[in-house]
Amino acid sequence: MHSSSETASSPLEGEARLSVPQPEAADAKPAAQAQPQAKILIVDDEPKSLFALQELLASLGQTLLVAQSGEDALKLALKHDFAVILLDVRMPGMDGFETAKMIRGRERSQATPIIFLTAQADEMTSMFKGYAVGAVDYLMKPVVPDVLKSKVAVFVELHRKNERLRESEDQLRRLAAHLISVREEERAHIAREIHDELGQVLTGIKMEVGWLQKRLNEPALLEKTESMSKLIDSTVQTVRKIATGLRPEMLDDMGLVAAVGWQAKEFQKRTGIRTRAKLPPERKFDFEISTAVFRIFQEILTNVARHSRATRIDIQLDATEERLELEVVDNGIGIPEGELRGRKSLGLLGMQERALLFGGEVSVSGVPGQGTRVAVSIPIPRPGN
Ligand SMILES: Nc1ncnc2c1ncn2[C@@H]1O[C@H](COP(=O)(O)OP(=O)(O)OP(=O)(O)O)[C@@H](O)[C@H]1O
Ligand SMILES: [Mg+2]
C-alpha cells in the first residue's frame, strides 16, 4: 500500500520524467527525430508494475510520465496534455474509476483517452457505459506487451494527427485574419485615392468648363458646356458613392455609432424595409474593432436584403466598459437551421472569424416564419492591455 507521501522518495514518483530514447534512435535520421514526442501517463500504485510498464513502452520513443496515486495523476493531468493515460483500476485511496471521472471532469483532459489496467474483466462492463466510445479501453493484467504497445501507439498517432490538425487550423485562422486586414487596408487606400485624386481632377475639369462657359456666346456650344457640367456633377457623385462603398469616411471621421446609424438609414432608403436603430452615445472604439463590427453589420444587412423577405428590422447597439454588443432582428422567413452550419455559408463564417479575432462571438438564430436574430458580442480591451 502506498500513499503519495510514503512514496515521495521513490524514483518513480510524481513528476519523475523519464524520457526514454528509442533503441534505434541512435542511428535514425535527424528528420525522423524532429517529430515532437507525445506524453504518456502511467498510473499504478505498485512500483514494480510501474517500472515494468515503463520498460515496455520505452521503445515507443515518447515521453513517459508516471504517478503512483490517483491524486498525483490528477495533478499531472492538469499540467500536461497526454496522448493517453494508462490507469490501474485497483489503487488505494482514489481508485482508477474515480480518477478517470475526475480527469474527465476537467476541461483540459476531458477528451484524453484512458486505458484501464485491470485484473478482473467483469468490473469493466458496467463502467464502460459512462464513456464515449473510442475514448476508453481496457487491458487485462498481466498485460500482453505487444497488445499494450500497439494500443498505446494507436493513441499516440491519433494525438499527433489531432495536434497537426490544430496547428493547421491555427494557421488558417491567422491567414484569414491577415487577409481580412490586408483587404481592409487596401479598401481604405483605394477609397482615399479615388476620393482625393479623382475628386480633385473632376473639380479641376468643372472649373475649366465654367471658364469656357463664360466665354462662349453660341447657344449650341453653351448647351454642350452645360451638359458637360452636369455629367461632371454626376461623376463626382458616383466617385463619392464608390469611395464610401469601399470604406465609409464616416467610420473614420465620426465613429462607429454614427456609421451604424448612417448605414441603417441608407439601408431603409435602398430597400424600403422599415429600419429602427437604438444607438448609444458616440464613443471612441479601437479602429480595428469598429471596422470589424461595421463590416459584420453590413454583412447582416446584406443578408436581410437578400434572403429574409423582412418588412422590418430592429437594430440595437450597446456598449459597456467591457463589451460591444450589436443585435439585428428581422421579421422575415427565419434562417433555416441547416444554413447555420452549411458549407456554403461563407458570409456567416466570415462574420464569426472577424468576431473571433477579438475574442468575440456571433450567434445567429432563426424561427421559421418569424424572423432571424443575429447577435454580435465583442470584448473591449482595457486601456493598457
Ligand atoms: N436574415 C436572414 N433571413 C433568412 N435567411 C438568412 C438570413 N441570413 C442568412 N440566411 C440564410 O443563410 C444562408 C447563409 O448566409 P451567408 O451570408 O453565409 O451566405 P450567402 O448570403 O448566401 O452568401 P455570401 O457568402 O455571399 O454571404 C443564406 O444563403 C440564407 O439562406
Ligand atoms: Mg451573406
pLDDT at 133 over 60: no
User: How confident is the model at residue 162, as a pLDDT?
Assistant: 93
pLDDT at 341 over 50: yes
Q: Is 367 in the pocket of ligand 1 (CB under 6 A)?
A: no
Bridge partners, residue 327, by sequence: 316, 375
Long-range contacts of 265-270 (CB under 8 A, 24+ apart): 267/301, 267/305, 267/313, 270/305
User: How confident is the model at residue 210, as a pLDDT?
Assistant: 95
Instruction: Give one DSSP letter per residue of 293-323, joined into a string.
Output: HHHHHHHHHHHIIIII--SEEEEEEEE-SSE
Q: Average pLDDT in the 370-385 region?
A: 89
> How far, in Å, is the centroid of ligand 1 from the Cα of 121?
53
Stated as kind and residue range, the H or E segment containing 274 is strand 274-278
CA 320 to chain centroid: 23
Q: Give the confidence band of 121 by pLDDT, cuts at 50, 70, 90.
A: confident
pLDDT at 103 over 70: yes
> How far, in Å, is the centroid of ligand 1 from the Cα of 260?
20
The β-bridge relationship of strands 323-330 and 371-379 is antiparallel
- Taking every pair of Cα atoms in the chain, the longest distance, rounded to a whole number of angstroms, is 115
Residue whose C-alpha cell is 474509476: 97
> How far, in Å, is the centroid of ligand 2 from the Cα of 364?
12
> How far, in Å, is the centroid of ligand 2 from the Cα of 302?
6
Distance in angstroms (rounded) separating the CA atoms of residues 195 and 202: 10
> How far, in Å, is the centroid of ligand 2 from the Cα of 301?
9
Q: Is 263 in the pocket of ligand 1 (CB under 6 A)?
A: no
Mean pLDDT of the chain: 87
Q: Is 345 in the pocket of ligand 1 (CB under 6 A)?
A: yes
> How far, in Å, is the centroid of ligand 1 from the Cα of 303?
5
Radius of gyration of the chain (CA): 33
The values of phi and psi at residue 141, to 5°, are -90, 145
User: How confident is the model at residue 16, as a pLDDT?
Assistant: 43
CA dist list (Å): 162 to 55, 103, 109, 158, 166: 27, 19, 14, 6, 6
Q: Whose CA is nearest to atom 10 of ligand 1?
A: 335
3-state percent helix, strand, coil for the chain, nearest multiple of 5: 55, 15, 30
User: How confident is the model at residue 131, as a pLDDT?
Assistant: 60
Distance in angstroms (rounded) separating the CA atoms of residues 255 and 305: 24
Q: 376 near 325, Cβ under 8 Å? A: yes
pLDDT at 22 over 80: no
Q: Is 137 in the pocket of ligand 1 (CB under 6 A)?
A: no
Out of 16-30, 88-102, 139-153, 310-324, the most confident range is 310-324
Q: Whose CA is nearest to atom 11 of ligand 1?
A: 335
User: How confident is the model at residue 11, as a pLDDT?
Assistant: 38
| ω into 368 cis (within 30 of 0) | no
Distance in angstroms (rounded) separating the CA atoms of residues 275 and 268: 6
pLDDT at 120 over 60: yes
Q: Please classify residue 49 by burial: count the beta carbons closer than 10 Å to its beta carbon, then call 0-12 exposed, 13-18 middle and 19+ buried.
A: middle
User: How confident is the model at residue 30, as a pLDDT?
Assistant: 47
Q: What percent of the chain has pLDDT over 70?
A: 87
Coil, helix or strand for 359?
A: coil
Q: Is 335 in the pocket of ligand 1 (CB under 6 A)?
A: yes
Q: 385 near 311, Cβ under 8 Å? A: no
pLDDT at 9 over 60: no
Q: Is 353 in the pocket of ligand 1 (CB under 6 A)?
A: no
User: How confident is the model at residue 7, as a pLDDT?
Assistant: 38
List, for residues 155-178, the tens digit of each pLDDT value: 999 999 999 999 999 999 899 889
List, for residues 240-277, the tens digit of each pLDDT value: 999 999 998 889 899 999 999 999 999 999 999 999 99
Within 13 Å, how many C-alpha atoms sit on residue 367's CB side? 6
Which of 304, 299, 305 lies closest to 347 in space, CA to CA?
A: 299
